[in-house]
């Protein structure tokens, strides 16, 4: 396991191509996942002769790696990895190692912690570093795919434009929501944990922003539930293209992350922050 991670690191260090920065992002992801529970890494799942299209068809979430390095996996899906890498000035061995490692990353990395054992500050930091970072990275890419699929295939499935519009609304709501948490609510939570007397001064009790955030969680939950309905449970049809498959797999992953994200806030962070604020008020 460690040997494979080191091999990936050496291969990436040797790669001086223009796409190196994007691949390095994946190396950090792989390195950061090293401490999480996961099955031992097996031999490479792919070879340089695997086609880009067959890789995404079997592992739709790997589409994000191809997007990151500028390889077209949809219309250009019949090309081998070797040919696609040559066209982009990338090292195919590096990409094979990266794809194999990414395919074996745990899908529930955010679940591998026990929020009940964290301090309020640790939990707010954890939510920002995992769930907020994930939404900021993945939701724009999902929106881009949803719009592309609606434009190309909307004529044969009238639900696809609504999928794109729903992802667009969810994108805007989530970015606004996370900004409020990061700039207003989470700083208040950290202040409350530090015992600062004026923690709630500018918003009254912390119950006020929490109420707003919980209402917004309801809206986001409704949007992802609607997306599940519109896509028959994120299930691809046999003739769906790879972009469409990557969209559906990405939405299913997004739904799982959103549920975990909201659980940590609604059921752990918020009640504990309210209780802490109540204790502080009682002590004054």
Structure-token match 């739709």, residue found: 60
Distance in angstroms (rounded) separating the CA atoms of residues 31 and 46 = 20
- Of 17 and 134, which CB lies nearer to Fe ion in the complex structure? 134
Distance in angstroms (rounded) separating the CA atoms of residues 8 and 149 = 33
CB of residue 266 to Fe ion, shortest distance in Å: 8
- Rule CB under 5 A: which residues touch Fe ion? 181, 265
CB of residue 260 to Fe ion, shortest distance in Å: 11
- Of 83 and 207, which CB lies nearer to Fe ion in the complex structure? 207
- Of 5 and 256, which CB lies nearer to Fe ion in the complex structure? 256
The closest alpha carbon to 64, from 89, 93, 98, belongs to 98
- Of 265 and 277, which CB lies nearer to Fe ion in the complex structure? 265
Which residue blocks in the chain are alpha helix, DSSP H? 2-14, 20-32, 52-58, 63-69, 81-88, 92-103, 120-127, 133-153, 159-180, 186-194, 207-230, 242-263, 270-283
CB of residue 232 to Fe ion, shortest distance in Å: 28
CB of residue 264 to Fe ion, shortest distance in Å: 8
Report the first-to-last Cα separation within the chain, whole angstroms.
Answer: 54
CB of residue 180 to Fe ion, shortest distance in Å: 8
* DSSP 8-state assignment for residue 62: G
- Of 97 and 189, which CB lies nearer to Fe ion in the complex structure? 189
CB of residue 93 to Fe ion, shortest distance in Å: 39
Distance in angstroms (rounded) separating the CA atoms of residues 199 and 278 = 12
- Of 181 and 191, which CB lies nearer to Fe ion in the complex structure? 181
CB of residue 121 to Fe ion, shortest distance in Å: 15
CA dist 221 → 82, 226, 273 (Å) = 41, 9, 22
- Of 27 and 171, which CB lies nearer to Fe ion in the complex structure? 171
Distance in angstroms (rounded) separating the CA atoms of residues 20 and 216 = 38
């Amino acid at each position: 396991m460690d040997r494979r991670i080191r091999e990936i690191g050496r291969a990436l260090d040797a790669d001086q191509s223009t796409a190196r920065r994007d691949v390095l992002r994946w190396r950090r992801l792989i390195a950061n996942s090293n401490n999480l529970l996961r099955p031992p890494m097996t031999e490479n799942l792919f070879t340089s002769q695997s086609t880009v299209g067959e890789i995404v068809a079997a592992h739709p979430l790997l589409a994000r790696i191809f997007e990151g390095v500028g390889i077209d996996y949809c219309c250009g899906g019949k090309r081998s990895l070797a040919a696609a890498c040559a066209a982009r000035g990338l090292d195919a061995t590096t990409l094979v190692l990266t794809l194999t490692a990414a395919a074996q990353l745990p899908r529930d990395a955010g679940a591998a912690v026990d929020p009940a054992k964290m301090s309020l500050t640790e939990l707010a930091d954890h939510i920002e570093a995992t769930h907020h970072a994930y939404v900021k990275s993945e939701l724009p890419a999902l929106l881009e795919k949803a719009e592309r699929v609606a434009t190309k295939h909307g004529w044969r499935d009238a639900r696809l434009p609504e999928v794109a519009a729903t992802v667009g609304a969810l994108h805007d709501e989530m970015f606004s929501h996370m900004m409020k948490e990061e700039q207003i609510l989470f700083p208040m939570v950290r202040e409350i944990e530090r015992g600062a007397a004026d923690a709630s001064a500018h918003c009254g009790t912390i119950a006020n922003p929490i109420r707003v955030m919980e209402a917004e969680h309801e809206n986001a939950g409704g949007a992802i539930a609607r997306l599940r309905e519109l896509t028959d449970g994120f299930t691809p049809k046999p003739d769906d293209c790879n972009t469409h498959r990557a969209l559906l797999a990405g939405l299913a992953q997004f739904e799982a992350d959103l549920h975990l994200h909201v659980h940590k806030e609604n059921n752990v962070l918020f009640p504990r922050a309210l209780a802490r604020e109540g204790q502080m008020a009682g002590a004054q």
